[in-house]
Amino acid sequence: MEPLIKFTGVRLAHAKCLVRSYAHFTGRKLIGDHESDAELAQALDEAPFVLVSHGTEADPVLNYGNATALALWEMSWAEFTQTPSRLTAEAPNREERARLLAAVTAHGFIDDYSGVRISKNGRRFRISKATVWNLLTEDGLPCGQAASFNSWTWL
């Protein structure tokens, strides 16, 4: 199967960061082992679960979404990675989302998060059983947050 986009050094490093940070905070594997960074990145892109992340900007921008996430939010890679992550929730749900992210920042990760999100085309869906965790560089410095879930219901 062909990769969704050409993997660059940055994409490969981010895939490793997602997996490494998940294991660090949860003590679990996000995905099985792979022989190369490129295979790991492709496996994450093609995973049957949603995997998203954003950076550490004052208004964090999404910097990764796998194929399942792009389909769910009805966006291209270019659109997704230019979207402030707060816009994945409707305005009334943004305060609840901000509290969630503050809790993750303080505790490293949370499991079993549920909430309502909205696609680019206005379709609402409830996510459930999401894990949200902090991302760390190889040096242990904060570099964003990520979320993964495989359960959602269209509203």
- Quote the pTM value: 0.90
CB atoms within 10 A of CB 48: 8
Query: 97's torsion region: left (phi>0), alpha (psi -120 to 50) or beta?
Result: alpha
Domain map (residue ranges) of the chain: 49-154
Q: List the pLDDT tens digit at each of the 155 positions of the chain.
A: 344 445 677 888 999 999 999 999 999 999 999 999 889 999 999 999 999 999 999 999 999 999 999 999 999 999 999 999 999 987 777 787 778 788 888 899 999 888 899 999 999 999 999 999 999 999 999 999 999 999 999 99
Q: How many CB atoms lie within 10 A of CB 17?
A: 19
Which helix H or strand E contains 26, and what residues bound it? helix 9-26
24 three-state secondary structure: helix
SS3 66: coil
- CA distances (Å), 110 to each of 23, 60, 61, in order? 13, 19, 20
CATH 3.40.640.10 fits 49-154, yes or no: no
